[in-house]
Amino acid sequence: MHTIMVLNAKGGCGKTTISTTLACYFSGRDYNTALLDYDPQQSSRRWLELRPADRPKITTIDAVRPRSGVTRTFALHTGNQTEVVIIDTPSGVTGNQLSDLFNRADTILIPVMPSIIDYQAVELFLKELMRYGKHKTMTKRIGIVANRVRIRTKSYMAMEQLAQFFQIPLIATLRDTQNYSIAMESGLGICEMQRSLTSKDDKQWQPLLDWLHLKVPHKQTPPVSRENDNSESTSQDSWSGIARQSALQFNR
Ligand SMILES: Nc1ncnc2c1ncn2[C@@H]1O[C@H](COP(=O)(O)OP(=O)(O)OP(=O)(O)O)[C@@H](O)[C@H]1O
Ligand SMILES: [Mg+2]
């Protein structure tokens, strides 16, 4: 089982969007996938309630109010069959909660938006994260995802400097597009939307998926079809995880 956590103390940077997209990706590739929502706002769980019944199943557990009468570890156990756990986290995490979350993850993705306010917030967050993880960072993989990038401005360059300063790889750059809110409103991930609408996004996700697959072995199962898409998936399908070139350099 591999646990991928999407974490950043800054609110609104894309934690839920990235968590739900990843849950769709892995469930659509036949991985037994669980989505845990540690955020009292429960946005991921609400999204899951909207998920059409014919889409690949994603299991969930109420991580905010776990079952009483058992240990917390037991209550949060997603089952022995689970292959990939995606954890969506709240904003404002710090102190013991941050250290506890850090310990639960195998891979941590940190979404960051290219703005000075976000950089200031993430700098403090990363300093704290690195303190908790001082002795453990070698066993964990941490990567930054630049999110809602419109154009590669000076502000975006600062993201690269931030990543360099903390020696955390910048894994992927995702554009600002309403595709994400459309997917969110329909219980889908953009990897399940009509291919013609998301081709740019598919390409942008590929380095991130490749990086994750360095620890989550590929499956041979073909991906399930998308909305309004009756075509067979091919090796051109950039969500298929087959063409893995660029991200290999990011292995840590
Ligand atoms: N790449 C993107 N392009 C356009 N809109 C986006 C993108 N990523 C996220 N959004 C939108 O930004 C808003 C905040 O995203 P999201 O809820 O995923 O952030 P969050 O980090 O989970 O927020 P919170 O800290 O409140 O839980 C949502 O309306 C979402 O649809
Ligand atoms: Mg959220």
Tens digit of pLDDT per residue, the chain (252 long)?
A: 999 999 999 999 999 999 999 999 999 999 999 999 999 999 999 999 999 999 999 999 877 776 666 566 665 677 779 999 999 999 999 999 998 899 899 999 999 999 999 999 999 999 998 887 766 656 789 999 999 998 778 888 899 999 999 999 999 999 999 999 999 999 999 999 999 999 999 999 999 999 999 999 998 877 777 877 655 444 444 544 333 333 333 333
Is the pTM higher than 0.85? The answer reads yes
Q: Name all domains of the chain by residue range, CATH numbers in brackets.
A: 2-250 (3.40.50.300)
> Pocket of ligand 1, candidates 5, 10, 17: which has the most ligand atoms within 8 Å of its Cβ, to mutate?
17
Q: What's the pLDDT at 85?
A: 96
What is the Cα–Cα distance from 89 to 80, expressed in whole angstroms? 23
**Ligand 1 centroid vs 37 CA: distance in angstroms?**
15
Q: Specify the DSSP class assigned to residue 230.
A: -
Contact 13, 28 (CB under 8 A): no
Instruction: Classify residue 197 as left (phi > 0), alpha (psi -120 to 50) or beta.
Output: alpha
